[in-house]
Amino acid sequence: MRLAGDIERRLPIHARSQRAIRQKMLSLREVGRGTASERVGRLAARAGMLTREALASQCAAYRLALGALGLDPPEDVRAVMRKANSTAFATPLSDGTDVALSDLEASADGAFVEIEGFVTAIEALRLADGKLVSRLVLRDPSSDATANAKAVIAHLPHAGVTFDAFLRANGSFNAASALFDGQPAVEIDALSLEALGRASWRIAFLRLADRWFGPQPAEITPGMEPEPVHELKRQLEDDRERLRDCRDAADIEDSWNDYDNLRTAWEIAMEEADALRGELEACLHALNESIPFA
């Protein structure tokens, strides 16, 4: 809970910095300073990821704390708690070869590349087979080169990728993409968070928020509450019932053991939250130090 509280206090400051970064990035681009705008754009992309991770961490922290308070935590919460002492905090992610947009078409078909640029067009659509796909066009203001990119089973606007955003993405180069009428395109790499969560406690923790931060918007019936809200209400009601049973139980020893287990789970959750809070503080400090116009 302390982690969630710290995020709530600090995130508005970070958001103001992020807004200033975006304004600077766009103003540099407008006056023809393409290279400088790209440099600030990289900082903007990093700030955007930090914002999403902070919000996801807030959601995950509440889920972890509420789950630990219950006598029967959900399996995903128990899994995160079990991994705390046996799993590395973070694991390296795949990183493609940096390729300028002007040089992209010279890449070998299937090459794993990293590209960056300003989003000049973006849409999310469903194909004839029902598959959700996002496609976009990036532009390099220095060379005026453009490139196509696509993400399968992902709604990129839902993930914060919108018009005029600066995007850095890793993916496989496709010399003739059917989604772009045979034109070259990069298929953005889709990471398996489930696999990453087995090797990284940080990813496993963040996955506690995946119902709100998935690759596509949740399907919600109009006029009804989202299913996660119903689920949380059921969980809280079940916990209240079990606590009442525990309080009214004739076997004092069993009741005491239940309460003791609850206290231990809470202590573990707080230790994990403290570790993540330190990581977040380091990220925010690095961001603030790297703003060249603050």
Beta bridge partners of 124: 134
Question: In this model, does residue 41 exceed pLDDT 50?
Answer: yes
- Residue closest to 104 by CA, chosen among 145, 144, 165: 145
pLDDT-derived band at 292 (thresholds 50, 70, 90) equals very low
User: Where do the domains of the chain lie, and which CATH numbers do they carry?
Assistant: 2-92+194-290 (no CATH), 97-188 (2.40.50.140)
Burial state string for 16-25 with b = 16 or more CB within 10 A and e = fewer than 16: ebbeebbebb
Question: In this model, does residue 114 exceed pLDDT 90?
Answer: yes
pLDDT value, residue 263 = 58
d(CA 291, CA 294): 6
pLDDT value, residue 99 = 95
Question: In this model, does residue 161 exceed pLDDT 60?
Answer: yes
pLDDT-derived band at 272 (thresholds 50, 70, 90) equals low
d(CA 6, CA 58): 9
Q: Which of 72-86, 97-111, 164-178, 238-252 has the lowest mean pLDDT?
A: 238-252
pLDDT digits (tens, 9 = 90+) for 189-248: 877 777 888 888 888 888 888 777 655 554 433 343 444 444 444 555 655 565 566 556
Beta bridge partners of 114: 98, 170
Return all residues near 201 (Cβ < 8 A) that are at least 6 apart.
80, 83, 84, 87, 88, 89, 90, 272
Q: Which residue intervals of the chain are DSSP H helices?
A: 2-30, 34-69, 75-83, 193-199, 201-206, 227-248, 252-290
Query: Among residues of the chain, what percentage have pLDDT more than 90?
Result: 29
Higher pLDDT, 210 or 145: 145
